[in-house]
Chain A
């Protein structure tokens, strides 16, 4: 009887651990907001099952160690980011951590879309304060090369100013203008031009 109860308890413990293990990745995949990821109420919520089993003599319940650990360490917010800068930039772009700002023709003012992109980028930069940034200003081919180098400078700086206004240290951000020297899309239509009028955000290391 006691043995079977022990088995039940053991089984419960194993079950608890399984639940805990199942909870961990769920928490990890949940990104924002970071702080209240695993609220204490969640722990107590899983405990009420215990009394129904513990009406018998044996109540030796050990806290599942994994579960406790996930509660005390903020492991959930730490992401495995690549150490290679090129790979890091690829990942940051893919996951939308860093988003480029796009501009209208011969303009350096930020559209609402550009502001949203830069706000998202600033949020990530705030959480990853170890990285420094280069903002590249780019233009489409319809202008002249020399004027566009100046226009690209203005675009890169409009993006920088916006990010700095959101609380990012200006010393972390440099700018450069490539004018129309390095188009993202080599095409000669409006779709290509629209892609080429941008402030491109690049991580340049720690």
Chain B
């Protein structure tokens, strides 16, 4: 009873601080749009467009949570008649025309009255056809919801398939997996910058663990010098050049912040207990972290200056890996229940939580930029692999298969 009263008090004060917008987002309000997607009209051979373009496009739309793909009756041209015959809200009429070195993709959304609700044209080399498909899917989702799709977002992760743990990248659907570090040592815990241009990770080499930043636009690898030990669980502030991380002096792991140019080191926690795993709220005003101060690892929130510490998790005997939903309303974390790790999502205001993962031991959740998906690592298929599921736990799919793969971090936006 006393705890409830306290919680209510926390809830009110939190609400005042974070100013969560009360209006329902367009995404939540949207109903499913039925869409008929016939194959593109084109002079190109079918296999030149099927795998690079049509496959990715239909997979994206089916997974969007916005569109449902309607089965298409045969022999009807892609116009209003098809929309009516398929019982669809729209027909996506596609045409692909080769032009010199390029392919031109034209896309129109036609409603049952014959009106065009959306028209867009994309041009690129045949090698860019998949990218054009993802861009089109993104634009269609934005047309319906006001928010762009996640189909050009990427997932960073650590994989040992080369013989060493290195940082790898893949597209949101698990395609295009490529290795981006080559230390031949132990590189783990990648984390995206808010602009998607940089990544920070921890490298173990020569008996030391250090943070490094790499930039997709070049400039090489930058060593973030902190002067303290550990240097793990690094994460960029969404609002500044700060990096929060776990540092340690003389065996006391705490949450620290350092600027990305290795200056202005600050220690945010001072408890003698173990503190780990910081993560900024999307508005940069709060940091979630794990602390053993109660006797078991639990999730706490604090203001970005290290003040106003509040406990978030009360269920589960071992909680870690907290990460904020893009809206800032929820925190997903790893929670051990009956000896098994599961993904739990807790509301930041009400502290209510629910478990969403399924079989196996499931850890290290990462939100998609639209807040509809969670990537995580699981041993449910044997060795540790990266999976993806909707935030209600449905539609799980395995994204990695070679070696062991872990610590997914989803890019903060879809380009």
Binding site for B on A (CB under 8 A): 106, 108, 134, 136, 143-147, 149-151, 153-154, 156-158, 160-161, 174-178, 181-182, 202, 204
Contacts and interface: CB of A to CB of B under 8 A. Distances in A.
Nearest to B249: A157
A81 to B, nearest CB: 20
Given A175-B251, A177-B230, A151 B207 contact: no
A153 B208 CA distance: 11
Q: Tell me whether chain B's interface is mostly helix, strand or loop, or mixed.
A: strand
Contact of B186 (A145, A146, A158, A181): A181
Contacts of B321: 144, 146
A147 B230 CA distance: 12
B40 interface: no
14 contacts: A143-B318, A144-B320, A144-B321, A145-B407, A146-B321, A147-B276, A147-B297, A147-B318, A149-B209, A151-B274, A153-B230, A153-B253, A156-B251, A176-B207
Contacts of A153: 229-230, 248, 251, 253
Given A108-B251, A136-B207, A147-B277, 13 more contacts: A143-B297, A146-B232, A146-B276, A146-B320, A151-B274, A153-B230, A153-B248, A157-B250, A175-B229, A176-B204, A178-B186, A181-B204, A204-B207
Nearest to B364: A145
A134 B230 CA distance: 14
A144 B363 contact: yes
B61 interface: no
A161 B251 contact: yes
> Among the interface residues A144, A154, A174, A176, which one has the most CB atoms of the partner chain B within 10 A?
A144
A143 B319 CA distance: 9
B399 interface: no
A112 to B, nearest CB: 20
A146 B255 CA distance: 12
Interface string B257-288: 00000000000000000111100000000000
Interface residues of B, number: 35
Nearest to B251: A157
> Among the interface residues A145, A181, A202, A204, which one has the most CB atoms of the partner chain B within 10 A?
A145
Contact of B233 (A149, A151, A181, A202): A149
Contact of B207 (A108, A134, A147, A160): A134
B320 A147 contact: yes
B344 interface: no
Interface of B: 165, 186, 188-189, 204, 207-209, 229-230, 232-233, 246, 248, 250-253, 274-277, 290, 292, 296-297, 318, 320-321, 334, 341, 363-364, 406-407
Given A154-B274, A176-B207, A204-B207, A149 B251 contact: no
A106 B229 CA distance: 20
Contacts of A134: 207
A162 to B, nearest CB: 11
A145 B188 CA distance: 10
Nearest to B334: A144
Contacts of B252: 154, 157
B31 to A, nearest CB: 38
A150 B253 contact: yes
Nearest to A155: B251
B320 A149 contact: no
Contacts of A177: 209, 229-230, 232, 248
> Among the interface residues A106, A150, A160, which one has the most CB atoms of the partner chain B within 10 A?
A150
B188 A181 contact: yes
> Among the interface residues A136, A153, A182, A202, which one has the most CB atoms of the partner chain B within 10 A?
A153
A83 B158 CA distance: 36
A153 B250 CA distance: 9
A147 B290 contact: yes
> Among the interface residues B248, B296, B364, which one has the most CB atoms of the partner chain A within 10 A?
B248
B334 to A, nearest CB: 5
A174 B207 contact: yes
A156 B250 CA distance: 9
Given A145-B364, A150-B275, A174-B207, A181 B320 contact: no
A154 to B, nearest CB: 5
Nearest to B339: A142
Contact of B208 (A108, A150, A176, A182): A176
A115 B337 CA distance: 34
Contacts of A178: 186, 204
B393 to A, nearest CB: 20
Contact of A150 (B188, B230, B250): B230
Contacts of B209: 149, 176-177
A178 B165 CA distance: 13
A175 B292 CA distance: 21
B230 A144 contact: no
A145 to B, nearest CB: 7
Contacts of B246: 146, 149-150
